[in-house]
Amino acid sequence: MKPNYLRRLGSSDLMVSAVGLGCLQFSRGRGISGAMWPSLSRKEISAIVETSLKGGINWFDTAELYGRGESERALSSSLEDLNIPRKDIILATKWWPVLRTSRSITSSIDKRLSALNTRTIDLYQIHNSFSFSSISSQMKEMAKLVDQGKVRYVGVSNFSANAMRKAHKELLKYGLKLVSSQVNYSLLKRQIERNGILDTAKELGISLIAYSPLGRGLLTGKFHDNPDLINKRHILRRYYASLNKGELKKSSQVVQALKSIAKKYQVTPSQIALNWVVNANGNTILAIPGATKVGQARDNADSMKFELSEDDICYLNEVSSSF
Ligand X SMILES: NC(=O)c1ccc[n+]([C@@H]2O[C@H](COP(=O)([O-])OP(=O)(O)OC[C@H]3O[C@@H](n4cnc5c(N)ncnc54)[C@H](OP(=O)(O)O)[C@@H]3O)[C@@H](O)[C@H]2O)c1
Q: Which residue ranges make up the site for ligand X (CB under 6 A)?
A: 22-25, 37, 61, 157-158, 182, 211-217, 220, 222, 233, 270, 288-292, 296, 299-300
* CB 269 to ligand X: min, Å: 8
User: Which residue number places its CB atom closest to ligand X?
Assistant: 22
* CB 175 to ligand X: min, Å: 26
Nearer of residues 172 and 229 to ligand X, judged by Cβ: 229
Sign of CA dihedral 87, 19, 214, 48: negative
Distances from the Cα of 8 to the Cα of 17, 148, 177, 298, angstroms: 9, 23, 14, 23
Please answer whether residues 131 and 100 qualify as being in contact, where contact means their C-beta atoms are separated by less than 8 angstroms: yes
Cα–Cα distance between 158 and 181 in angstroms, integer? 7
What is the CA angle 203-320-235, rounded to 5? 105
Nearer of residues 173 and 278 to ligand X, judged by Cβ: 278
What is the CA angle 266-304-121, rounded to 5? 150
* CB 156 to ligand X: min, Å: 9
Cα–Cα distance between 316 and 55 in angstroms, integer? 25
* CB 258 to ligand X: min, Å: 12
* CB 241 to ligand X: min, Å: 7
Nearer of residues 77 and 174 to ligand X, judged by Cβ: 77
Nearer of residues 7 and 233 to ligand X, judged by Cβ: 233
Max Cα-Cα span within the chain: 54
Nearer of residues 25 and 281 to ligand X, judged by Cβ: 25
* CB 257 to ligand X: min, Å: 17
Nearer of residues 153 and 211 to ligand X, judged by Cβ: 211
Please answer whether residues 90 and 152 qualify as being in contact, where contact means their C-beta atoms are separated by less than 8 angstroms: no
